[in-house]
Amino acid sequence: MADIELEFFLNGEPVKVNVNPATSLLTVLRDYLGLTGTKKGCGRGECGACTVILDGQAVNSCLLPAVKVRGRRVETIEGLARGEQLHPLQQAFIKAGAVQCGFCTPGMIMAAKALLDHNPRPTRDEIKEAISGNICRCTGYVKIEEAIMQAARGTGGIKNEGCC
């Protein structure tokens, strides 16, 4: 199958790349564009390691044919920090000790960002639901949920800080 030209917005910038139409967005990000922050996990959309934000919604990039992002907005973990200044979610993950091996972290942060972009005052249950498609095999979820709550507090949000 012949390559096609694909144009979309990546982390706020227009990009153009020639891809095989059967290629996943994950492969385009990692192998064509060199953005390895988005991780390849299960390859079946079950672990969430490959989570990116597409037009404001968290999606599994391993399941998404790259041609589906033509003309759309894709955000990856590389697009969050501004120079040396980490995004509040990245800062909160570090502060809460929610980063162990770091493999799941980019996907968790992108799922959390999609949540906070739409709901800056989530409850703990809403946080749990937002990251339910992401698997962490190191820390469990308490520190990750706390990090997201800290980030929400930092932006003036969080409805219910009920414990556990």
Task: Write out pLDDT tens, residues 61-107.
Answer: 999 999 999 999 999 999 999 999 999 999 999 999 999 888 999 99
Q: In this structure, what are the phi and psi dihedrals at residue 44, rounded to the nearest 5 degrees?
A: -125, 10
Distance CA 42, CA 63 (A): 10
Global pTM reads 0.92
Domains of the chain: 4-79 (3.10.20.30), 88-156 (1.10.150.120)
Q: Quote the mean pLDDT of the chain.
A: 93
- Rounded-to-10 torsion of CA 53, 89, 147, 57: -20
Q: For residue 150, what are the contacts with CB-CB under 8 A and spacing of at least 6?
A: 92, 95, 96
Distance CA 38, CA 147 (A): 19
Range of lowest pLDDT (55-59, 142-146, 153-157): 153-157
